[in-house]
Structure 1
């Protein structure tokens, strides 16, 4: 049994490597941007041999895609699962949904990916395409599901098909961009901004007789 312990430890270490590389990559993306980040530097930050990182990620683009899936897509998948099983009102659901997205986009490091798209997307248009195909499409599908759910409950002011789901999350992008341009001092109180965002969305979406 004791002889198995080193092997088990090595296996746990191997299993953890993709997430360790991802964390190192996100840290360097935040510090240097996409163009100036090299996979060799990511390997160094992760504390692994240079060649090891290529076993998991063949390029910076594949690392960026993995980060999109881990930070953005996984969040929207969680929101989708919540939407499918949530028993409460649309007001309650949207409050939880927006808070999750704020946590990831503003407090978490998914905002790093958005800032890269804003600042370097023109130089790397394939990243924009990747974001649209991997993350944006999933996010919009999730928002549409929330709208359809609200419509089925008789809570919407107008038909779901007449509502652009991008409007639900647009203030989050404004906040993320403001942080990049003006710094953290421009954000004000995050919880207050979220409260005002939710109020704006609910007033625009819900019918007068919807539960508030």
Structure 2
């Protein structure tokens, strides 16, 4: 004969349900904050707006995040900087050529960041960093430096293997960053206003940029009879 659930079972189920709801609420606040930060910028976004969009009270928001600055940092970690460990492992385990790796990383960036709301964070920081130096320093430390390091490792991998010609890797990083930043700015500014018959295809743009970049980077065998450099 089936027995009624014990008080201990009921209490455990209630705690598990509360924990799931707490995790969901945390995610809902981060999603609402990302949307508003990208739509309005950091300065213009108010905590009560984030709470309202997430369907909670302002007091509930501050139970999770001590300030709007801490909320912004959590959004950046959730969508960008918290993923660098995963991306670093992918780089280490990649078995193809450095040219293939470069193409893979730029395409993956567009799919995972550029084509998402998270790419608006880059535009926000470029426009508001001067007014919020603490957030600028945070972004530099948690996004810019590790991002540059990943790109630097890709280029150095190609140089070390003899696939890429010797270059100033520190400045070579910006060759890859430039099209990414352009797409982030375009997507969250004039990209909303261009005529429907004159769209920019981000994937085609990235592929064209990579093709031309590799023409300059890749070491090509000398033609028969050509003098060596």
TM-score over 0.5 (shorter chain)? yes
Distance in 2, matches of 1:160 and 1:31, equals 37
State the Cα RMSD in Å: 2.1
> By how many angstroms is 1:134 displaced?
1.2
State the TM-score, normalized to the length of structure 1. Answer: 0.87
Task: Identify the residue that residue 127 of structure 2 maps to in structure 1.
Answer: 119
Distance in 1, matches of 2:32 and 2:176, equals 32
Distance in 2, matches of 1:15 and 1:88, equals 38
Asked if residue 207 in structure 1 is aligned to residue 219 in structure 2, the reply is yes
Unmatched segments (≥5 aa) in structure 2: 222-229
> By how many angstroms is 1:132 displaced?
0.8
Asked if residue 67 in structure 1 is aligned to residue 75 in structure 2, the reply is yes
Unmatched segments (≥5 aa) in structure 1: none
1:192 to 204, 208, 214: 204
Q: Deviations over 1:79-138 (max 9, x none)?
A: 211110111111221122111211244211222211211232232233322211110001
Distance in 1, matches of 2:44 and 2:215, equals 44
Asked if residue 13 in structure 1 is aligned to residue 21 in structure 2, the reply is yes
1:28 to 12, 33, 36: 36
Matches within 5 A, 1:137-152: 137-152=145-160
Asked if the contact 1:72–1:110 (Cα under 8 Å) also holds between the matched residues in 2, the reply is yes
Task: Identify the residue that residue 224 of structure 2 maps to in structure 1.
Answer: none
> By how many angstroms is 1:187 displaced?
5.4
Asked if the contact 2:29–2:51 (Cα under 8 Å) also holds between the matched residues in 1, the reply is yes
Range with bigger deviation, 128-137 or 159-168: 159-168
Range with bigger deviation, 183-192 or 102-111: 183-192
> By how many angstroms is 1:162 displaced?
6.3
Range with bigger deviation, 139-148 or 198-207: 198-207
Asked if residue 86 in structure 1 is aligned to residue 94 in structure 2, the reply is yes
Q: Deviations over 1:39-61 (max 9, x none)?
A: 22212211223222212211121
Rg: which structure is higher? Answer: 2
